[in-house]
Amino acid sequence: MGMKKVRLEIVGLSYSQTQSGAYALVLGESAGTRRLPIIIGGFEAQAIAIELEKMTPSRPLTHDLFKTFSETFDINVNEVLIYNLVEGIFYAKLVCNDGTKDVEIDARTSDAIALAVRFNCPIFTYEFILKSAGIVLDDEAAGITSSVEADVEVKGEGEEVVKDGSLQSKSTEELKNLLQTAIDDEQYETASRIRDELNNRKKS
């Protein structure tokens, strides 16, 4: 299958606006302006943040243990691939090598990213996933966002731009304006909900 792979970088990490205790991990394409927001748990967010901030926990976290274990037995993680998206759930795998052969290992996306930062390996996804779940930032907003590269922002609970269920009652024009506002405020989850509603209208 000749599916186009797109390289992603970690752009930021912020509190989830819709799920308490959850975080929004935002990945961005290296050579473009699309962003892929992924909702992850607090534990995984911490595992990613600690590594990005180069903090050293007093005892190895699970992901540190995995890395030490792999390296001890000469297994390297060469890349992380987010290969599918089904009903809002991202599927990922680790492409590993033991010196002779490549082996793909299934992983939760949050765990895969936590390992990618530890093994310092590239993160990829397929074009079709970015098309369906990516959010496009305009140039101005893209400039602002790229300045937080690797700087894990743990922002306070943002004000909701729109409440669930109120989207259907708005005009398409209003939704487009709301979408822009949401993106400008880095309210990625809200933006993805508005985008879903706009996509539904296109289909119907």
CATH, residue 112: 3.10.690.10
Residue 2 has pLDDT above 70, yes or no: no
Grade residue 158 by pLDDT with cuts at 50, 70 and 90.
Answer: very low
**65 three-class SS:** helix
Are residues 22 and 67 located together in one domain of the fold?
yes
Residues 171 and 152 in one domain: no
Strands 76-86 and 5-15: unpaired
Is the domain of 52 the same as that of 125? yes
93 plus 185 within the same structural domain: no
Matching residue, tokens 């037995």? 73
In this predicted model, what pLDDT tens digit does every residue of 31-79 receive, in sequence order? Answer: 888 999 999 988 889 899 888 888 888 888 899 999 999 999 999 999 9
Give the whole-angstrom CA distance, residue 22 versus residue 46.
Answer: 11
Nearest 5°: phi and psi at 45? -60, -45
Same domain, 75 and 119: yes
Q: Let me know whether 103 and 150 are in one domain.
A: yes
105 and 16, same structural domain?
Answer: yes
Same domain, 70 and 144: yes
The reply to whether 101 and 179 lie within a common domain is no
Domain residue limits at 101: 5-158
Query: pTM score > 0.85 for this model?
Result: no
How many structural domains comprise the chain? Answer: 2
What is the arithmetic mean of pLDDT over 95-118? 96
On whether both 146 and 192 belong to a single domain, the answer is no
Return the exposure string of 159-191: e unless at least 16 CB atoms fall within 10 Å of the residue's CB, then b.
Answer: eebbeeeebeeeeeeebeebbeebbeebbbbbb
**Do 58 and 138 fall into the same domain?**
yes
Question: Hey, what are 24's tokens?
Answer: 């929004």
Q: Give CA separation, 179 vs 16, 86, 164, 196, 203, in Å.
A: 17, 23, 14, 11, 18
Does 127 lie in the same domain as 68? yes
Reported as a single tens digit per residue, the pLDDT across 117-136 is: 999 999 999 999 999 898 88
Q: For the CA atoms of 188, 194, 200, 204, what is the dihedral angle to 10 degrees?
A: -160
